[in-house]
Each structure stands twice: as structure tokens, then as C-alpha cells.
């Protein structure tokens, strides 16, 4: 599903927050604290944040599932 390397910078603040949130979830979800969520809530509605979390988790789970079964693109 990857469409290349992430950009170094994003002009859109919401896009930047979403990408960095996804990277944080993927790298160390234990680092997501109330402060992180509060920053996200400044730019995303509760529904949007829920959808972002669901999508990020779905993609990570899909990739893990494929890895476990040795699936290739």
C-alpha cells in the first residue's frame, strides 16, 4: 500500500499531524499520551480521530498478517 517514502515536510498541518501520528503508532504506541491526543483533537474531530486510529491500526495489522503468512505484494 506504500506509495513511496514519506515527505520531509507537509504544507497541510492536518496531513503532517496524521502522518506523524501514524509513524508514532507504528514505532511505539506506548508513547501516545494525553498530550498527543489533545494536540490531535485541536485539528481533528473525535470522529476523524477515531477513523484515523482505525485506519492506521488496520494497515499495521494487515501488514503484520501478510508478514506472518509470508505474503508478498
Tell me the pLDDT of the chain averaged across its residues. 92
pLDDT at 73 over 60: yes
Q: How far apart are the C-alpha atoms of 65 and 53, rounded to whole Å?
A: 18
pTM: 0.82
* Chain position carrying cell 520531509: 8
Percentages of the chain per state (helix, strand, coil), in multiples of 5: 70, 0, 30
Burial (CB count within 10 angstroms: exposed 0-12, middle 13-18, buried 19+), residue 18: buried
pLDDT at 1 over 70: no
DSSP 8-class letter at 71: -
Amino acid at each position: 500500500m506504500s506509495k513511496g517514502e514519506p515527505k520531509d515536510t507537509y504544507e497541510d498541518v492536518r496531513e503532517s499531524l496524521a502522518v506523524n501520528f501514524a509513524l508514532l503508532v507504528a514505532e511505539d504506541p506506548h508513547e501516545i499520551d494525553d498530550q498527543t491526543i489533545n494536540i490531535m483533537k485541536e485539528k481533528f474531530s473525535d470522529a476523524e480521530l477515531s477513523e484515523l486510529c482505525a485506519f492506521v491500526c488496520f494497515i499495521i495489522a494487515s501488514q503484520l498478517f501478510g508478514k506472518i503468512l509470508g505474503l508478498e505484494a
